């Protein structure tokens, strides 16, 4: 509201920039071309985005059944925890090997 009152809008908006809810009007109420631009709050954009309040969107390339994707996503924390432990606790150089037998040999498995 403050940005609309001050007639300010950013040309280059980021994803969460509040300017995305503003519209620039270049005409008067009678429909004539105005010399000045007026910034107003676009209630349609706000209503469209409000439909997704409380939801967490997930983008995936998996083509499985939706229930399978949800099951996999629910266990994602285990994968993240494993990577965090591996990055912080695992003392090893970067591995540029591809064959599994060579990787196991390098780490003595």
pLDDT score of 8: 65
Q: What's this model's pTM, rounded to 2 decimal places? A: 0.44
Instruction: Quickly tell me which residue has 């007026």 as its tokens.
Output: 38
* CA distances in angstroms from 69 to 41, 63, 64, 86, listed in the order given: 38, 8, 6, 25
pLDDT score of 67: 92
pLDDT score of 31: 67
> Do residues 39 and 4 touch, judged by C-beta distance below 8 A?
yes
Smallest CA-to-CA distance from 37 within 15, 13, 4 is with 4
Averaged pLDDT in 10-residue chunks for the chain of 109 residues: 65 72 73 72 88 84 88 87 82 80 84
pLDDT score of 47: 92
Indicate left, alpha or beta for 31 from its phi (over 0: left) and psi (-120 to 50: alpha): left
């Amino acid at each position: 509201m403050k940005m609309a009152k001050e007639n300010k809008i950013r040309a280059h908006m980021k994803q969460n920039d509040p300017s995305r809810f503003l519209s620039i009007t270049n005409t008067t109420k009678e429909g004539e071309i105005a010399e000045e631009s007026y910034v107003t709050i676009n209630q349609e954009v706000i209503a469209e985005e409000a439909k997704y309040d409380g939801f967490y969107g997930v983008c995936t390339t998996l083509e499985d059944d939706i229930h399978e994707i949800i099951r996999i996503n629910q266990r994602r924390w285990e994968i993240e925890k494993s990577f965090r432990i591996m990055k912080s606790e695992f003392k090893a150089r970067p591995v540029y090997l591809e064959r599994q037998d060579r990787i196991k040999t390098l780490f003595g498995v």
